[in-house]
Amino acid sequence: MPDIVSPRVRLLVSVRDAAEAALARDHGADLIDAKDPDRGALGALLPETVRAIAAASGDRLTSAVAGEPRDAAEASACLAALAGTGVGYLKIAWAPGCDAVGLVLPARLPVIAVLFAEDGPSGADVPALAAAGFSGAMIDTRGKDGRRLTDHLSLTQLAGFAAACRAEGLLSGLAGSLALDDIPALAALGPGYLGFRGGLCARADRTGRLDPERIAEGARRLAAFVPRVEAA
């Protein structure tokens, strides 16, 4: 299992191909995440594209989104399709309170449950995720319509989610149309990582190409930030 525990908040950059993976690697990304921005919040890429991204990411941690399944059986199939691509962990959409009966997680490959902010997730949802076998949990936004994570959930709610993940020993992440200026407030909550795509692209267009200067600036800001959170 990859080292997904870190004393600092790390920068996750979502990439669509190997060229973007190399760009993210060379400009300071801590985690490189394979995702198709043309297919919504959690559009999965083809396995061969994910393999190329993993290879181009060098020594950086890697992940891949596996889609937005309707139930546990479909989630199991989505995860299995990407389990052999060489990434460090997988991410799958998961609704709060979803029945995990029948969910089969890949052996020795950590899986992150992605909860959408529009569904009103909270720290109360985290123990069930741990019980289902997830290695981490994150909140993202389903709609990519200009509204950001904090337009849906307050900092207090997000802090409670991050704290619940720490209490359960899960990696936590926060994402959702984040801008670089969101880093101080969100990093102060102590998540394991902050996830970016649009905020690191030219003109904040998540379907456009990544801007190396924005990646480097995000990495600089997070590297300089030392969160102060109480141990769980």
- Residue 91 annotated as catalytic: yes
Dihedral over Cα of 80, 12, 188, 180: its sign = negative
Q: Which residues have CB under 8 Å from 5's CB, separation 6+?
A: 171, 192
* Rounded Cα–Cα distance for residues 137 and 175 (Å): 11
A 10 A CB-CB count for 206 gives 19
- Residue 144 annotated as catalytic: no
* Rounded Cα–Cα distance for residues 76 and 73 (Å): 5
Catalytically annotated residue among 16, 25, 91, 152: 91
Are 15 and 34 in contact by the 8 Å Cβ rule? The answer is yes
What SS3 class is residue 23?
A: helix
Quote the tokens at residue 210: 């990544």
Catalytically annotated residue among 25, 35, 60, 206: 35
* 125 sits in which H/E element: none
Give the active site residues: 35, 91
